[in-house]
Chain A
Amino acid sequence: AIPVRSSRLPLSDAMPAPAHLFPLIRNCEISRICSTVCYCHHKHLCCLSSHFAHSHFRDAPQKKFAALYRPKENFNYFIHARDYASTPQRFYLTPPQVNSILKANEYSFKVPEFDGKNVSSVLGFDSNQLPANAPIEDRRSAATCLQTRGMLLGVFDGHAGCACAQAVSERLFYYIAVSLLPHETLLEIENAVESGRALLPILQWHKHPNDYFSKEASKLYFSSLRTYWQELIDLNSGETTDVKEALINAFKRLDNDISLEAQVGDPNSFLNYLVLRVAFSGATACVAHVDGVDLHIANTGDSRAMLGVQEEDGSWSAVNLSYDHNAQNEREVKRVKTEHPKSEEKSLVKQDRLLGLLMPFRAFGDVKFKWSIELQKRVIESGPDQLNANEYTKFIPPNYHTPPYLTAEPEVIHHKLRPQDKFLVLATDGLWETMHRQDVARIVGEYLTGVHHQQPIAVGGYKVTLGQMHGLLAERRARISSVFEDQNAATHLIRHAVGNNEFGTVDHERLSKMLSLPEELARMYRDDITIIVVQFNSHVIGACQNEEL
């Protein structure tokens, strides 16, 4: 079975007109379609959409897997779509219903001001996620470092289940925080643990109620973390910690721990199954560490960090602060190829996927792409029955000769914040697939400043009638008013990502349709979307800059 990432089915491509989606479902033996989808989705931990896209538009290489998905039925789906396209029956969510869906996961945090002077370069952040998978496979985290300065924010896109993304979202920031701690603090913490005293708090989390931590694994996770800091204490180099290095070490260490925990297993059968699920599923991570004007982005996989910059004329532009680790990134392809013998060159990347299977070229977990075949077999065999029964875990990727093929090592980009850098968007690929970064920068920028730099209309030499102009203006006004529905920049962005029509304005009808898709169908039209929008304090950044000068 096949992972996971693919381009989503665009509504307009799939059908003659988006408005006809619902009649289609009703008339097209919905149970049959659903069962197909469920089958694919749950049993094979795979996204139907990839198959749809490929089976429909591609040929041979997919055949082997396509057979598994019963392509005929899927094909029927499209045929029916055309047959029933003109049925006029409609059902839409009302705007309040749409809003309650969009706002279910929204979270905002404002950095408290002290004595009226905000000492943090971060004003606060808005975050939100919109599930397409059930349950959602994306995770997000945000925390303030308490023993060092700075704030950590991250989005994690899981695949083949959410276990890995969940574990990374709980654990990664502790690994980073510990990596950043000075020697004395590490000693202090270790002594406290040793003597059973209260620990210094390391992180202050900023969590939405839906963002849970698994209680069962906390002991296991803690002991792995403790081992890590004990090693750090032993290794004491006496040098001050470099943020970039700390980030890389933390990523690699956590992935290593995930791998080790799965190999070692746990006497508790629940935990044993959990660590295996974590290791066999995968997750990308895009993490920002902000400390004063120093912004570090550590990225593993194809989530993305983007800086919103306000130009002197007030307009918005986007600066990428991460590189996607996928087949579109030539350097990444080159890296993978240099790490393996030339004989594998052709099989390494197929259909823009690693070994023809995995879209991200770097990820946490995914031991199927990291362990030797022997190790995989040994672990699966000695593992619980559930694991054994799982087709996906048993399946060994084709052309699997010189593992590991996958790494969790992040690429770290350091950026010195400038006053014109107004915000940072961290988002999983669910957003970037639907929106261009330039639009993201504009929409968020205009939302945060409350100013709408719509391109002014100029009549110029064109022939425009009063009536045409009137219609155009009414539409532009509606666009502005849509902004005021949201109190959260991330929600606003999701509204656009899901509801944008061809004019770049939120079309309620479309939004309503997209959100009322049954769980099983949603995944075909969109991916999970997780967004964090961090707003910077230009005054503090300006002041810091001046100090440094």
Chain B
Amino acid sequence: AAGMFLRLLSDVRWQAANPKWRRMTGSRRSTSSTAEPHPVALPEQAQVVICGGGIMGTSVAYHLSKMGWKDIVLLEQGRLAAGTTRFSAGIVSAARHMSLELKMADYSNKLYQQLEQETGVSTGYVKTGSISLAQTQDRLISLKRIASSLNVMGIPCEIITPKQVAQLHPLINIHDLVGAMYVPEDALVSPANVSLALATAASRNGVQIHERTSVSHVAVQNGHVTGVETDRGQIRCQYFVNCAGQWAYELGHSGKEPVNIPLHACEHFYLLTHPLKEPLSSNLPTVVDPDGRIYIRNWQGGILSGGFEKNPKPLFTEGRNQLEIHNLQEDWDHFEPLLSALLRRMPDLEALQIMQLVNCPESFTPDMRCIMGESPTVRGYFVLAGMNSAGISYGGGAGKYLAEWMVNGYPSENVWPLDLKRFGALQSSRTFLRHRVMEVMPLMYDLKVPRWDFQTGRQLRTSPLYDRLDAQGARWMEKHGFERVKYFVPPGKDLLDLDQSKTFYKPDWFDIVGSEVKCCKEAVCVIDMSSFTKFEISSTGDQALESLQYLFSNDLDVPVGHVVHTGMLNEKGGYENDCSIARLSKRSFFMISPTDQQVHCWAWLKNRLPDDSNLTMEDVTWKYTALNLIGPRAVDVLSELSYAPITPDHFPSLFCKEMSVGYANGIRVMSITHTGEPGFMLYIPIEYALHVYNEVMNMGQKYGIRNAGYYALRSLRIEKFFAFWGQDLDAFTTPMECGREFQVKLEKGMEFIGQEALLEQKQNGVYKRFTMFILEDHDTDMDLWPWWGEPIFRNGRYVGKTTSSAYSYTLERHVCLGFVQHFDEKTGEELVVTTDFVNQGEYEIDIAGQRFQAKAKLYPFSSLFTHRRRKDEMELSGYQGE
């Protein structure tokens, strides 16, 4: 333990502290400052250069070298583990909301546990457990949701009473608590030592480590990394890994070909105290009091306590800055609310003597998730940074995923939520980042409720109709910087203010969305869907068709004017993208993908389309405003606005025609919707957007047209069992697993990416199956609402998790979508999921620890809807008769 103290407070002289290391690297100096600084020359060439000797860099090096890559150089500008890593609080906790983060933390914990044995470097690993406290019922619900996730992952976890809290930790004031979550396997480590241990193991595997070497920029040729410029010369390399932590943004922008890594540093404070009179035991559990915004761990017989305040202090907005580094000092006034929270939680600490208030900057990202993966613009340029102050928890897992990604081409988990490509250049503004991280840092301990929207960095990308819609009561959410309507608040009606509408139960917009859904089903609604990513791919000859046929799983060789739903699959048959492609002419295609595909899909296609000047791809997202006319009356509205016949005979489903609407010409009208309802998508050149919108609204008046938002759309598509990419579908889901064999050209004898994998699945069966669940005994008004990520139980056994859910206003039930897997009861091995397996089972969905019966379905309702519609139509015609 004394060693840990030194690690935290003194400069890490790790070579001296670890004689093994000195022996291994041979010529290393024994006295730090007097000896010549760089005894070992840099190599001229390496396969991989990693920049950054913190927990991330060393973890990547460790995992790469374990996976057999040996030709690796790790460069650190100062000393190993001397940056944010050294100052980290050293808490390894699996209490995470997102299951991917939870898995990373779990892996890290197991890795660190055996690291000391593996490397001989003491890591200070102590399994203390952690207690997350709830001061409110809502917080307890939030913890119960995490507990459900942890339990099905096999990580021990318990919801405990305040009394039990007092038994676990003698100092906690429990009077204001309603409960807590106890995770007994959470641990404490000495972060710097973990990093050093990883470095030690990596160097044993052949990784060369050079300290006091800074990377000035990365050399790029033809969109591929070719080398690294350092202050000690150049290293040629094929791969570069940016693990520069809070400097990652700057490093990314230092080269000619910028790589945008959207993160921004904020000051982070924690307090160290002298030991208590009766020193705290080193295995006392870590306490997290999110309502008080603080964490408290035992440290050297005293405590270490920090937190995430409401008013963060962002820094280095304009890049590294000596003045700001110099000013990184204790700021007690800033820490005051956290100190108050600490003394409220542990009043007995009043007499405890302060040792130090540590100020260590942490980097935060625009969506509170870390950043990993390959640059969309520079191949071979990998990134692992932006840990949102959970670097120690994620370090092992994140390093593993990135190493897998580099070695295998893809990681072993779906890491899309963390993929660098979820961001684009639009998140590179420092002003945006500064404002956003000021919102993100307090969020660390804010209540995570469903349907949460960021408030900062908004109104960046908007549709031309934004003001019109806003004036009509639109409430907005944001996706990939684009403002999208959630729903329209009718005039005269006011919703709760933002804070109060945070709920795990029935939200205040329930009836509003209900009426929008009703209108979609009975009359006609218009939804602005301009945010969708739109590409045009064309060629002089057949190149476009030939290339796309290989890249997409469905047959695109359809007559001109047809629209095809297709997946863009990877080699394993998983969905990299799910899109609609219209064949505009023999040689040109119009492709519509989800909003957040703009960067990923572009990079995927760019990297795979042949380098042919006669084949062009253009991002036309900004050129078109998309209006979705949805509902049985859409056809009537459209017929009145155009002289072209719109009847199903002339304009069957999945068709695309360029036509005039009102005065405006050149509108691409497609007879598709994204919900399964009848309707049309209108792709309107932006200058006509307002005109067409006005025409549609005017003409639609007699058909009862109204605006609708994405919440209505979501309810409609989920009750229709429509899977959405990014929520239900990901790179680990194949068309076979979600009942979309019909969208794959397996029978046509054409080669396409993912074909082999799909053929194998077709032969051997699938290991998970996309299933629809209708909650049976769930009271919409009283019970907790499902969100996503809820565990699914079949005959009492865990079989998978939900991916999305919504209330179906038609069924008057909650519908959850999710994947059912089949684990062998004894070995836990994954087995093939058959239709019978899905159908013959009693299902339950676990919402924050409470299980609700659910009925599983593999195919959408059809009869119910037709029946209802016929009845509704009668009602509607009756209404119009009046």
- Residues of A bordering B, CB below 8 Å: 454, 456-459, 463-467, 469-470, 472-474, 476-477
Contacts and interface: CB of A to CB of B under 8 A. Distances in A.
B333 A465 contact: no
A503 B330 CA distance: 22
A458 B335 CA distance: 12
B350 interface: yes
Nearest to B340: A470
Contacts of B352: 465-466
B354 interface: yes
Given A465-B354, A466-B352, A470-B343, A477 B331 contact: no
B354 A464 contact: yes
Nearest to A477: B336
Contact of A474 (B330, B336, B349, B355): B336
A458 B273 CA distance: 14
B356 A466 contact: no
A457 B332 contact: yes
B329 A463 contact: no
A459 B343 contact: no
A476 B332 CA distance: 10
Contact of B356 (A459, A472, A477): A459
A470 B345 CA distance: 14
Interface residues of B, number: 22
B333 A466 contact: no
Interface in B43-88: none
A136 B349 CA distance: 54
Given A473-B336, A473-B339, A474-B336, A466 B330 contact: no
A467 B348 CA distance: 9
B723 interface: no
A463 B355 CA distance: 8
B332 A469 contact: yes
Contacts of A476: 333, 336
Contact of A456 (B331, B340, B343, B351): B331
A420 B67 CA distance: 61
A93 to B, nearest CB: 29
B273 A466 contact: yes
B357 interface: yes
Interface in B334-383: 335-336, 339-340, 342-343, 349-357
Contacts of B340: 470, 474
A457 B333 contact: yes
Given A456-B331, A458-B330, A465 B336 contact: no
Nearest to A472: B332
Contacts of B330: 456-459
Given A466-B339, A470-B340, 16 more contacts: A456-B332, A457-B332, A458-B329, A458-B330, A459-B330, A459-B354, A459-B356, A463-B353, A465-B350, A466-B271, A466-B273, A466-B353, A467-B351, A469-B354, A470-B343, A474-B336
Contacts of A454: 333
Contacts of B332: 456-457, 459, 469, 472-473
Contacts of A465: 350-354
Contacts of A473: 332-333, 335-336, 339
Nearest to A471: B350
Given A463-B353, A464-B354, A469 B333 contact: no
A463 B332 CA distance: 15
A472 B335 CA distance: 12
A474 B336 CA distance: 7
A474 B356 CA distance: 19
Contacts of B357: 459
21 contacts: A454-B333, A456-B329, A456-B331, A456-B332, A457-B332, A457-B333, A459-B330, A459-B355, A459-B357, A464-B353, A465-B352, A465-B354, A466-B342, A466-B349, A467-B343, A469-B332, A469-B354, A470-B339, A473-B332, A473-B336, A477-B336
A466 B336 contact: no
B731 to A, nearest CB: 49
Contacts of B335: 473
Contacts of A463: 353
A458 B349 CA distance: 20
A472 B336 CA distance: 9
Contacts of B350: 465-467, 470
- What are the 6 tightest A-B residue pairs by CB atom distance, in nearest-first order? A467-B350, A473-B336, A457-B332, A464-B354, A459-B354, A466-B352
A375 B230 CA distance: 92
Contacts of A477: 333, 336
A470 B357 CA distance: 13
A277 to B, nearest CB: 53
Nearest to B350: A467
A471 to B, nearest CB: 10
B810 to A, nearest CB: 54
A473 B331 CA distance: 11
A469 B355 CA distance: 12
A421 to B, nearest CB: 24
A464 B272 CA distance: 12
B92 to A, nearest CB: 26
Contacts of B356: 459
A456 B327 CA distance: 11
A464 B340 CA distance: 15
A455 to B, nearest CB: 10
A465 B355 CA distance: 9
Contacts of A469: 332, 339, 354
Contacts of B355: 459
A188 to B, nearest CB: 55
A457 B339 CA distance: 14
Nearest to A457: B332
A467 B340 CA distance: 9
Contacts of A457: 330, 332-333
Interface in B431-468: none
A405 to B, nearest CB: 54
A251 to B, nearest CB: 47
A458 B359 CA distance: 12
Contacts of B349: 466-467
A470 B333 CA distance: 10
A466 B329 contact: no
A469 B339 CA distance: 9
B523 to A, nearest CB: 50
A456 B343 CA distance: 21
B153 to A, nearest CB: 37
Nearest to A467: B350
A399 to B, nearest CB: 58
A184 B617 CA distance: 77
Nearest to B339: A470
Contacts of B329: 456, 458
A477 B334 CA distance: 10
Contacts of B271: 466
A454 B333 CA distance: 9
A466 B346 CA distance: 11
Counting chain B CB atoms within 10 Å of each CB, the highest count among A456, A457, A458, A469 belongs to A469
Contacts of A470: 336, 339-340, 343, 350
Nearest to A474: B336
Contacts of A456: 329-333
A133 B342 CA distance: 50
Interface in B795-818: none
Nearest to B347: A467
B296 to A, nearest CB: 12
A498 to B, nearest CB: 25
Nearest to B303: A466
Contacts of B354: 459, 464-466, 469
A503 to B, nearest CB: 15
A42 B876 CA distance: 91
Contacts of B342: 466
Interface in B233-268: none
A472 B271 CA distance: 16
A473 B342 CA distance: 14
A454 B340 CA distance: 20
A298 to B, nearest CB: 42
Counting chain B CB atoms within 10 Å of each CB, the highest count among A456, A464, A466 belongs to A466
